[in-house]
Structure formats: C-alpha cells, structure tokens
Amino acid sequence: MNRLFTVVLVFSLSGCVSARMSDRVTDDLFRSEQYDQAAVRLDAGWSAQGINGKDSLLYLLDLGLAYHSAGRFEESNRAFLKADKIAEIKDYTSISAEAATLVASENTKDYQGEDYEKVLINTYLAMNYALMGNKEDALVELRRVNHKVEMMIAQGKKKYQQSPFARYLSGILFESDKNFNDAYVDYQKTFELSPDLPGLGLDLWRCAKELSMPDEMDRWDEQFHLTREDHQRALLLSSKSKKAEIIILYENGISPIKKPNPQFQSLPRFYPRWNPVWSADVEIRSLTSSGDFQKAGQTLMVENIEAIASRNLDEKYSAMVAKKVAGIVAKESLSYVVERQTNSPLLGLVARLIMYGSDQADLRSWNLLPRDLQVLRLVVDPGTYQIKLTPNGSHSLSEKIIQVNLGKKVFLNYRYMP
C-alpha cells in the first residue's frame, strides 16, 4: 500500500474519543457532592494529559470547579489560572494543526474552549476570591470578565453581551467597600442586561440615596413602583445600618451538552440536559441565639449559562459551515492525489470514505458547569448562622455555618447537579 494512503488512514482515525467527556464516574461523584473524590480523579486525568494533551483544558476546568464546590478555593484558583493560560495558548493553533482538521475530525485538535467558557474562568476566579473575603482580587477578575467580552465583540465582530452576574457581583463588592459610585454604575449595567432581576430596584434606589441623587431615586421609584416599605427594606443595607449581609451564590443544574446537529452531523449543537430544579429555598438559623430554622427566601437566577452557550455557538455557525465546505474540497483533492499516486481508483475511494467517515462533530465542552447562576441576599444581625439550601423538588444540600460581623458582607456557595 502506498505510503500516502497509509498516512491518510492513520491520520483520519487518530483522534475521536475524548477521555474527559467519556468519564462518567467523575460526573457521578460530583453529582453526589463527593467533590474531593471527583477532584482526585480529575487531577489524575490532568496529570496524564499534561499541558500538551488535547483534553488538558477540559480536565483543568472541571478540576477548578470540583475544588470550588469543595470549598478549596485557593486550589480552585490555581487550577483556573492554569486553565486561563492554557486557553490563551491553545487559541493560537498552528497552521498545520488547523489545516489537518480539514481532512479529519476537529477532535484531533487540542480543545481550545468556547468563548463563554473562557469568560466563566474569570467569573469563577472572582467568586472564589469573594468567598475567601478577598474583594480586591475578586474585582480584578470581574474587570477581566468585561474585558474579555469587549475584546471578543471588537475582534470577532460577535454579538456577545456582558455578564449580568459579573456586573451584579461587582456592584455588591463595590457597595461592601462603600464605593457607592462604582456600585451604582454596575447596578445600572445589571439593569440594562437583566431588567427583571427582583430586588435590583432596591439596590439602585439605595445607592442613589447614598450618592444624594434625588432625581435618580425618583427614577427608580417610578421604574420599580417602590413603596415606603421598599425604601425601608433598601435602607437595611445602607452605610448607617447596624445589619450585616450573607450573599448566597447558588450554582444550579447542569449546562447543555453538545450533540451532532441533525442537519449537519459533523457540526455540534447544544442540547439542554435534564434540569428539574429552577430555584432553591434557603432557611437560616441563628447559632448565636439558638433559634430554629426560618425560611429566608428563594434564590434568583442572574445568568443563564445554558442560553449563553447556545447563543455563542450559533454565532460561530457560519464560520464552522465555511470550514466544512473547505474541508470537502480538501478531502476530494487528497483522495484524488491518492488515486493518482497509487494508480488505484479503489484506494482513492477508500481514502475518501475514511476521511468523510472520520469527520465527526467535536462534542467537547466544559462538562460540569451549572445551567445557571443564582443569588440570594440575606440581611441579618451580626452573628453566627447555619444555612440550609433546598433545591425545589430535590433534597437539601449539605448545611453550612458562617459568621458575619457588623456592616460586613460574606459569601456562601452551593451547587446542585441533577
């Protein structure tokens, strides 16, 4: 058999199955809140892949998420910072590697990460820093979120929008430092991105009052139909308040999964996974006063990762189709060369069939991401509290204990995966 045909055969069949995406054991450990055990498996997978592995980014992303969910925030940040660097490196795919995917599957190429995934790396870094009480570094990462999106819009001419979750979290952090001007800017941006977010009107009105902006206070009164009782609720978190605040960061459900597009089997499409829960009830018990659990509220969706993932992939579809058309030309040209050099129409046909048969959709994605990001803000007296979070329609997650001091804001995170 001619050497050229052998090269075509070996190369076309060289990279189909993703080790990370086929690992169901890790997913089950994560689902059952065994985050430390999941991290052990993911770390072993990352070590086996190394920085040059085609699934190395996938392992690091899920490893960072496992550490995050386990409350090991420093280790999570180390994983996410590595992932951020690798995603940047893998963005610059060599010309030869990119050309190779014209005649073989995209699976032969190192996974580079979807645009929304690269943005979420910094979102999770910010969440980790906030959970550690490091507001300064959290705000740095949130600015990077906005910068990444702006660069994607400017360079790629894509219709992406900024992250409402990042903007809202940034507003909370600025407000906790009594930087009401920047907090007000971020709350306003959150309103532009997510105008129906419950409670946002109170945040906007409160910051406007702190900044002595009566016209803006009237604006939000009219926009949200705020009452005197609403004003009193808003002022519970004012700079003169004797209260404290617990901010629940709830990561709900599981992100969509890629499957072959029915209209074009060699291209991926996102499909929602089963997500029976849409919010969670939160109960709180004071350990300072030895009280009973009291219902504190229900989490509110701030950012829908499932919808963002689908939109981002749709934005790339024209370019993906164009590449596939170029791939058809390349496959036909190469099979013709095989036929001519081997003087065998049969080998040319076989080469053609192998190349088309191996051209599968790249179904890799950040596997353990939640469906959406939710928040609940609890105004409390200073003290120590036990928090119980119950996803609606499911069992309660592991309870957590937290202490909060006068005038301070502290963060807690929970994750539910069906």
Which DSSP string do the residues of 310-360 spell out, in sequence order? HHHHHHTHHHHHHHHHHHHHHHHHHHHHHHHHHT-HHHHHHHHHHHHHH--
**56-88: pLDDT as tens digits:** 999 999 999 999 999 999 999 999 999 999 998
Return the domain boundaries, the chain: 3-178+300-376
371 DSSP assignment: S
Instruction: State the pLDDT at residue 164.
Output: 97
Instruction: State the pLDDT at residue 289.
Output: 86
pLDDT range class, residue 95, cuts 50, 70, 90: very low
Pick from 75, 51, 385: which is nearest to 243 by CA? Answer: 385
d(CA 152, CA 156): 5
**223-279: pLDDT as tens digits:** 999 999 999 999 999 999 999 999 999 999 999 999 999 988 888 999 999 999 999
d(CA 157, CA 159): 7
Helix, strand, or coil (residue 117): helix
**315-343: pLDDT as tens digits:** 887 777 666 666 565 565 666 566 677 77
Q: How far apart are the first and last CA of the chain?
A: 51
The mean pLDDT of 396-415, rounded to a whole number, is 97
CATH top class, domain 3-178+300-376: mainly alpha
Report residue 384: phi and psi, to 5°.
-110, 135
Mean pLDDT of the chain: 88
CB 128 within 8 A of CB 65: no
Count other C-beta atoms under 10 Å from residue 192's C-beta.
11
- For residues 12 and 52, which has the higher predicted lDDT (pLDDT)? 52
Q: Which residues, 6 or more positions from 370, have their beta carbon under 8 angstroms from its beta carbon? A: 251, 252, 253, 254, 255, 305, 415, 416, 417
Count other C-beta atoms under 10 Å from residue 230's C-beta.
17
- For residues 206 and 320, which has the higher predicted lDDT (pLDDT)? 206
Residue 353, pLDDT > 60, answer no
Residue 94, pLDDT > 50, answer no
d(CA 126, CA 141): 5
Instruction: State the pLDDT at residue 324.
Output: 64
Residue 365, pLDDT > 50, answer yes
d(CA 356, CA 327): 10
Helix, strand, or coil (residue 112): coil
Residue 4, pLDDT > 50, answer no
pLDDT range class, residue 305, cuts 50, 70, 90: very high
Identify the residue whose tokens are 């995170």: 413
Pick from 65, 30, 59: which is nearest to 45 by CA? Answer: 59
**6-25: pLDDT as tens digits:** 544 444 445 556 889 999 99
User: Burial level of 31, CB count in 10 A (0-12/13-18/19+)?
Assistant: middle
pLDDT range class, residue 125, cuts 50, 70, 90: very high
pLDDT range class, residue 416, cuts 50, 70, 90: very high
Instruction: State the pLDDT at residue 247.
Output: 98
Instruction: State the pLDDT at residue 336.
Output: 57
Residue 389, pLDDT > 70, answer yes
By percentage, how much of the chain surpasses pLDDT 90?
Answer: 72
Identify the residue whose tokens are 């952090």: 173
Residue 291, pLDDT > 90, answer no
- For residues 89 and 30, which has the higher predicted lDDT (pLDDT)? 30
Count of residues in the chain: 418
Count other C-beta atoms under 10 Å from residue 35's C-beta.
19
Task: Mark out the alpha helices in 132-227 (DSSP H runs).
Answer: 135-156, 164-176, 180-193, 200-210, 214-224
Instruction: State the pLDDT at residue 5.
Output: 45
With helix as H, strand as E and coil as C, how does 282-320 read? EEEEECCCCCCCEEEEECEEEEEHHHHHHHHHHHCHHHH
